[in-house]
Amino acid sequence: MATLYLDTAAVAKMLGVRRETVSRYKHDDRSFPAPDIVLSGRPGWLLESIEAWRAQRPGQGAGGGRPRKHR
């Protein structure tokens, strides 16, 4: 069976962000995984690599940001 690699567009769709955001993650976020393969100059990631990266990121409300106003 062939191994499936996700391109930048597929990673963006999976994460719910724009392709430009994935490109920014690649360049600015040191925890973003390096491509598992590069074919013809285009990066490809295994699904497991992106899922592991997403799992280790802080979720919504996990520190940082402004405190909520109490009403």
pLDDT at 11 over 80: yes
For the stretch 20-64, pLDDT in tens is: 999 999 999 888 999 999 999 999 999 999 999 999 887 755 555
Those residues whose C-beta lies under 8 Å from the C-beta of residue 19, and which sit 6 or more positions away, are 8, 9, 12
Amino acid at 22: V
pLDDT greater at residue 44 or residue 65: 44
DSSP assignment of 57-69: S--TTSS-SPPPP
Amino acid at 36: D
Q: How far apart are CA 22 and CA 8, in angstroms?
A: 7
Output the pTM of the full model: 0.78
